[in-house]
Chain A
Amino acid sequence: MGIIKASKLIYEYIKRDEEGNPEGVNRAVDQVDIDIQPGQFVAILGHNGSGKSTLAKHMNALLLPTEGTIWVGDKDTSLEDNLWDVRRTAGMVFQNPDNQIIGTVVEEDVGFGPENLAVPTQEIWKRVDRSLEAVGMTAYRYHSPNKLSGGQKQRVAIAGIMAMKPRCIVLDEPTAMLDPNGRKEVIRTVRELNRAEGITVILITHYMEEVIEADRVYVMDGGRVVMEGTPKEVFARTEELKGYRLDVPQVTELAWELKKAGLPLTDGILTIDDFVDEILAIHQKSGK
């Protein structure tokens, strides 16, 4: 069994009218089965309202399933006794960088998690030093978080989770409020952590470019997992993706259009380099 496993997971929001009487039920997550292996970089893609954030909140026991079960590090999240173990195993980074930093100084914020875990003072300092180093924010340790850019704030938030030594980090649209530079900065940091530290990463996003280097991609729509596979496999189904109101990366789209027009390209080209190689190969062939 993987580090996070969900089986027939269902979550329903109850809609209420102004007096608070239940009005209807909105099924945000519907019969989801996932199995994430330790050390993987997993991306969950989906349009607004596809249920991807609701699913993410289950991985940290911030929401509990209406039906079905989700296990985080072998623990069933719906049991009260497992709550802190679950949150220790899976750290969570949220969308708004301002609303998740608690400390008034960068290093104090990174120390907040370990303080909560009752880690001895000296060990806290060691962890804070290491985590800031890992996300490349050591130079800013005495700064006020208010003076940092969005990308830097998210890196501090990631360091804050790292200091709790989780086995897995769930990032709930960490780049949605950032500019393109900040986005690259955060994704690079996350990928580095996945590679160098072997931490399982679950990235929730609707930006296709961020998904290219993932080991595995899940696509969600209307609360269900509708596609699953490696990025290459998923992006090969361009038409289907468009049906879920998702765009493929520009190169993939171009390759797909050219293929429709008759060029013998392979499916699911993800990077410009691959694309150039294939075009050159075709060119050489037709030249002869």
Chain B
Amino acid sequence: MIRDITIGQYYPADSLLHRLDPRVKLLGTLVFIVSLFIADSWLGYVLAAAFLALMIRLSNVPLKFMLRGLKAVMILLLISVGFNIFLTDGEHVLLEFWIIKITWEGVKQALFMGTRLIFLIMGSSLMTLTTTPNQLTDGLETGLGFLKKIHVPIHEIAMMMSIALRFIPILIEETDKIMKAQMARGADFETGGLIQKAKALVPILVPLFISSFRRATDLAMAMEARCYNGGDRTKMKPLKYETRDYITYVVFAIYLALMILVGRL
């Protein structure tokens, strides 16, 4: 059961979005998020919705998967909508009793905020759904390569991310094994309150930590033995822009320009 957890919820399919260079998708997502904060009118949101719908259509990812991501943030969404409805002051009062006052401005604000959040989550999950974790780290490494000039260890960070991704399933499997070994000796992880359950996890964490450190030394030695020194390396799969990537950049530029023009009307 514990092995079913997947990290980086990639949806394997063949589509235009899947084939795009990860750098394009990273920058595109950023542009889309910025555009959401520029938008401050009905027209702006219609434009954003239309653009997002087009992207989802091009990605071949079923809408069901996109909506699944929303479930996790439902509470956050409700809280922020709630705050906006009840706490925004305005002239057109719709409802007022005791200390609660709902204004037309409040409702509008809440709607905008809600849509903004939903679009934001859908937009970014569209990126993770169409990009493998590997491509993502590659994209980050190449895309943020300019930061090397100011001594940000971009390559090292990307290497750490990809090693973490490789070891997550192994550590999950190991946790499973340790839990079973302790259950066989009478440990109880099921009953009791929250505190009780948290306490029961401590004997799992200790062996897990020890074995992770052991793995880390082993891996470091194996990497050194394979001549890794973080310095001059070549790439087996270097990222290369294709025509479709340039076209996508232009599309995003047009979208951002449109949003700046009409988003606040």
Contacts and interface: CB of A to CB of B under 8 A. Distances in A.
A164 B134 contact: no
A214 interface: no
Interface string B226-249: 111100111111100000000000
Chain B interface residue number, banded: 20 to 34
Contacts of A117: 227
Main secondary structure of the interface of A (DSSP, over half): helix
A120 interface: yes
A230 to B, nearest CB: 29
Contacts of B233: 115-116, 118
A125 interface: yes
A125 to B, nearest CB: 7
B162 A104 contact: yes
A281 B219 CA distance: 53
B14 interface: no
Contacts of B225: 60, 62, 87, 91-92, 94
Interface stretch (A95-103, A234-242, A249-257): A95-103
B220 to A, nearest CB: 10
Nearest to A98: B170
Interface string A83-121: 010011001101010111111110110011111111111
A114 B226 CA distance: 9
Contacts of A125: 236
Contacts of A98: 170, 215
A117 to B, nearest CB: 6
A146 interface: yes
A110 to B, nearest CB: 9
Contacts of A92: 222, 225
Contact of B215 (A62, A99, A121): A99
Interface string A200-219: 00000000000000000000
A72 interface: no
B170 A121 contact: no
A221 B139 CA distance: 51
B236 A121 contact: yes
Interface in B77-136: 133-134
A113 B238 CA distance: 16
A146 B170 contact: yes
A43 interface: no
B139 to A, nearest CB: 15
B224 interface: yes
A283 B78 CA distance: 91
Contact of B234 (A121, A146, A164): A121
A87 B227 contact: yes
Given A115-B236, A128-B236, A146-B169, A100 B227 contact: no
Nearest to A113: B226
B166 A102 contact: yes
Contacts of B165: 104
A121 B239 CA distance: 11
Contacts of B188: none
A161 interface: yes
Interface in B158-181: 162-163, 165-166, 169-170
Contacts of A145: 166
13 contacts: A84-B229, A91-B226, A92-B225, A94-B222, A96-B218, A100-B219, A104-B133, A104-B165, A104-B166, A114-B236, A118-B233, A146-B170, A161-B226
Given A60-B225, A118-B232, 20 more contacts: A87-B226, A96-B215, A96-B218, A99-B215, A99-B218, A100-B218, A100-B219, A102-B226, A104-B133, A104-B165, A104-B166, A112-B226, A113-B226, A115-B234, A115-B236, A117-B227, A121-B235, A128-B236, A145-B166, A146-B166
Interface of B: 133-134, 162-163, 165-166, 169-170, 215, 218-219, 221-229, 232-238
